[in-house]
Structure 1
Amino acid sequence: MMRDQQAKELLKKYKDGTLTEDEMALLESWYLSQGRSGDNTLDSDELEKQLDVVWAALPVNRPAVQGKTRPLLVWIAAAACIVIASTLAVNVFYKKPVAPQVPDTAMAVDALPGESRAKLTLASGQSIMLHEAGNGKLAQEGQFAVIKTKQGELVYQFEKQGAAENMGYNTITTPKAGQYQVKLPDGTRVWLNAASSIRFPTVFQAKERVVEIVGEAYFEVVKVSKKDKKVPFKVKAGNQLVEVLGTRFNVNSYADESTIKTTLLEGSIKLEAKGNDRGVLLKPGQQAEFAEGSEKTSTGVFDIKNVDTEHVIAWKEGYFRFDNIGLPELMRQLSRWYDMEVVYEGKSKEYEFVGQIERNTRLSKVLQILELGDVHFRIENKKIIVTD
């Protein structure tokens, strides 16, 4: 834990304007994790005044500035506002009452963040590496031209009149360290996270629109009607089926996660599980968790809770956002985004993480941020080794 005397010294240095960037990071982190908890013996009036000053200086409460910045845990313009707590009473602060230094993560190599990369597999079996293809028309799929825009999005654009041809399926697959956007033939937009895929028909049926996903995808579904009847949009993810008309939602169905998480941002969606005849309706701001072999509850096999939707779709906006998640879940996210294997040496401590880091940050910098909380790593080839 950070000692009261050390906190007083840092507060005084802050007031005098003599804090180093590392000390500022510790002070701001201390404010977020301990300062408001009441678990301290500092003079309450003076503490409150100093904390208000620190709070006003936090990155979330001040506009971006040009040039060199000094917000909490910032490297190369990567906004990071991380608080690390531990159920083992391990805090983000060093125990020795000396000016701390940012740890130097032991590594032989570094890893760049992911980027817009994906493979398109056409109904014919032909494959196109989208990140290598030029802009413009890439293929013709029935009545639709497959176009890569200047913004790097894949668009299915209606081009030919006449009777619909036989249905064929296209698949877009992102690798680890990749993500991609696509506008489907019906106008629905889909964002694919790393190590994910979507399979969809080149011609949607009149009665329903059905796609299949693996991994994580965010949807903005357009409303479609045929002969005055609304055409539902359905997403298959494992043994879960999502049915919507027009809405915004996120589905996380990675195989290495224990549950499928479906989060609704706008509109309404119906969830069903294979082999279970009881569905559930979600409201905006709710998340449903579905696990294979789940026992029935009052809502069937789904566990429903309210969540901060901004945290859920932060990946789409270019951020990692952690909301009291454990170290294993956090490391799985890093593994997918940086295309790295994670190895644990010994039993890891039960950390929880809260905060935000930009996804365009190099892996070494992310690990340096995390190491402020007494968790340690080293990088060897394509492995992140957790040494605690």
Structure 2
Amino acid sequence: MDESLAKELFQKYKDGTLTEQEMALLESWYTSHAKSSTVTITTNEMEQHLDQVWESLPVHKDKTASYSSPVKPLFKWVAVAASIAILATIGVNIFIRQKNTPKIETVAMVQDAAPGDNRAKLTLSNGTSIMLHEAGNGKLAQQGQTAVIKTKQGEIVYEFDMQEVDSRTKKITYNTISTPKAGQYQVKLPDGTRVWLNSASSIHFPTVFPTTERIVEIAGEAYFEVAKVTRDSKRVPFKVKAGNQVVEVLGTRFNVNSYADEAIIQTTLVEGSIKLELAGKENQGVLLRPGEQALLARDMKKSTGIAAGMFEVKQVDTKTVIAWKEGYFRFNNVGLPELMRQLSRWYDMEVVYEGPVKEYEFVGQIERNTKLSKVLQILELGDVHFRIDNKKIVVTNQPSDLNPNQPIMDK
């Protein structure tokens, strides 16, 4: 595609008249410049120019464009340990040279996977299971003084029922809410704390919290908005157990990512303050401020770059961390394996690697209600390629030789 056509497509983008097919063509043209460039620069030069170019693109935050798409283009591809070419600005000032215009292909797939939705299973203290996405609205169960209610918004709420108070009942009972792959859910705990569960996650909690402290246990990923509870003018602590760490809270908003297939437990503070400790080592903890993230190696025997039994704290963009709660995948220099694990959980797909694949870092944003095929089409603008084989995403470095209108067939 020549530069005159590229300028025309950019103008249509700003005018809000760009079609989906033209958008894919523009994305491919932009990425082809980066891949075919013969101009290399130093790391410092790249960092200086990349910010200018990124801000100048019409797709950045949609500052001037009215075009609406479920996929924010992942224009910023970075090959690890490779020299990076200066990218082009809006088709006006071209900083890179191109030897040949590569063939542009549009990927289509016979098989596809729908995005996840609100679904979860509630396991009561007596072992009874309720599929929450199949249950009707209203009262689902009564457990001692606590009623389990499903609201019209699909949230599960635990309410203290004064009519069911029995002073003889002092035994603490527990419930578990778990989401499958391709599922997410919201719950309001008995103390008023709100919890968002990501896919393949669970939370275990009492139906009535004791008066001295509130303790829950999670697996997977969860976002908390902790309610402030006081007794005798003192705040009742709230604790979250995740793997071998304990998060102690007084009243705050934070996110915990503790998936078993991730080597590191990530705890991110959005608002308030929290203290992190190792289970059984209450005197060896760290305090987090808003905007900080604590990293803890899940398996001390594996090499993660983090000292065993120690917390590593760093500053992060909290909006990126909790984007899943707002309905987005948001990648900020995310490696391919981590990205694929996120897709695997949300689309309930197994990921298989076919041969060695180059290391990449991805930057961009995609709505979580986007079909898998569209997500993979955007990712294929780099040198990584995919095919869908039943319930598997096959990752390969072999591009397809098919024409633009021919679907990728499974081998």
Q: Quick one: structure 1 residues 51 and 327, their matched pair in 2 at CA, closer, same or farther if it must change by over 3 Å?
A: closer
Gaps of 5+ in 2: 43-48, 88-97, 398-411
- What secondary structure sits across from 1:255 in the alignment? coil
Q: Report the alpha carbon displacement of residue 25 of structure 1 after superposing the two structures with TM.
A: 2.3
Instruction: Give the gaps of 5 or more residues in structure 1.
Output: 1-5, 41-46, 72-76
Which is further off, 19-28 or 359-368? Answer: 19-28
Q: Distance between the aligned counterparts of 2:35 and 2:158, measured in 1?
A: 48
Match of 2:91 in 1: none
Q: Secondary structure at the match of 1:128?
A: strand
- Please point out which of 142, 145, 152 is paired with 1:143: 145
Match of 2:190 in 1: 185
Any conservation in 2 of the 1:91–1:374 contact (CA below 8 Å)? no
Task: Give the match for residue 93 of structure 2.
Answer: none
How far does residue 325 in structure 1 lie from its aligned partner after superposition?
A: 1.0
Report the counterpart of residue 61 of structure 1 in structure 2. 62
**Who is 2:287 aligned against?**
281
| Aligned counterpart, 2:73 | 81
Q: Which residue of 2 aligns with 1:345?
A: 354
Q: Deviations over 1:146-199 (max 9, x none)?
A: 111111100011222533642100000000000000000000000000000000
Secondary structure of the structure 1 residue equivalent to 2:262 = coil
Change (3 A) 1:278 1:371: same
Corresponding residue number in structure 1 for 2:385 = 376
Q: Can you list the C-alpha shifts for 1:117-141, whole angstroms capped at 9, x where unaligned?
A: 0000001111000000011110112
Question: Which position in structure 2 is the counterpart of 1:195?
Answer: 200
The superposition leaves residues 31-85 of structure 1 with CA deviations (integer Å, 9 ceiling, x where unpaired) of 99999x9959xxxxxx99x969x836225134785xxx4x6xxxxx413231322
Helix, strand or coil for the counterpart of 1:354? strand
Superposed, 1:69-108 pairs within 5 Å as 69=67, 77-82=69-74, 83-87=76-80, 89=82, 97-98=100-101, 101-105=104-108, 107-108=109-110
Is contact 1:55–1:61 with CA below 8 Å preserved after alignment?
no
Say which SS state the counterpart of residue 365 (structure 1) adopts. Answer: helix
Asked if the contact 1:289–1:302 (Cα under 8 Å) also holds between the matched residues in 2, the reply is: yes
Q: CA deviation at 1:10?
A: 6.0
The percent of aligned pairs where both chains have the same amino acid is 60
Any idea what SS the aligned residue of 1:60 has?
coil
TM-score by length of 1: 0.84
Q: In the TM superposition, what are the counterparts of 1:87-236 in structure 2 within 5 Å?
A: 87=80, 89=82, 97-98=100-101, 101-105=104-108, 107-160=109-162, 162=165, 163=167, 165-236=170-241
Alpha-carbon distance, 1:90 to partner: 9.0
Letter in 1 for 2:133: H
- C-alpha distance 125-12 of structure 1, shift in aligned 2 (>3 A): closer
Query: What CA distance in whole angstroms lies between the structure 2 residues aligned with 1:306 and 1:269?
Result: 15
Q: Is the 8 A contact 1:182 1:189 kept in 2?
A: yes
Per-residue CA deviations over 1:231-255 (Å, capped at 9, x if unaligned) read 0000000110000010000000000
Given that 2:36 and 2:99 are in contact with CA atoms closer than 8 Å, whether structure 1 keeps it comes out as no
Q: Between 7-16 and 302-311, report the one with greater CA deviation.
A: 7-16
Structure 2 CA distance for partners of 1:198 and 1:99, relative to 1, 3 Å: same
Shift of 1:22: 3.2
Q: Is the 8 A contact 1:10 1:27 kept in 2?
A: no
1:342 partner letter: V
Letter in 2 for 1:87: V
Counterpart of 1:318 (choices 311, 317, 327) is 327
Instruction: State how far apart, in whole Å, the 2-side matches of 1:157 and 1:32 are.
Output: 56
Distance 1:123 1:31, change over 3 A: farther
The alpha-carbon distance between structure 1 residues 371 and 30, as it changes in their structure 2 partners (threshold 3 A), is: closer
Pick closer, same or farther for the CA change 1:135–1:158 going to 2, 3 Å.
Answer: same
How far, CA to CA, are the matches of 1:298 and 1:121 in structure 2? 37
What is the alpha-carbon distance in structure 1 between the residues aligned to residue 374 and residue 184 of structure 2?
A: 21
Work out the CA distance in 2 between the residues paired with 1:224 and 1:63.
46
How far, CA to CA, are the matches of 1:298 and 1:89 in structure 2?
28
Query: What CA distance in whole angstroms lies between the structure 2 residues aligned with 1:34 and 1:58?
Result: 22
Relative distance call for 1:103 and 1:27 in structure 2 (3 A) is closer
CA gap 1:57/1:150 in 2 versus in 1, 3 angstroms: same
Q: Is the 8 A contact 1:143 1:160 kept in 2?
A: yes
AA of the residue aligned to 2:78: A
Answer yes or no: is the 8 Å Cα contact 1:118–1:180 preserved in 2: yes
1:90 and 1:373 in contact (8 A); partners too: no
Tell me how far 1:143 sits from its aligned partner.
Answer: 1.2
Name the amino acid aligned to 2:292.
Answer: Q
Partner amino acid, structure 2, of 1:80: K
SS in 1 for 2:375: helix
Amino acid at match of 1:85: V
- Alpha-carbon deviation of 1:13? 4.4
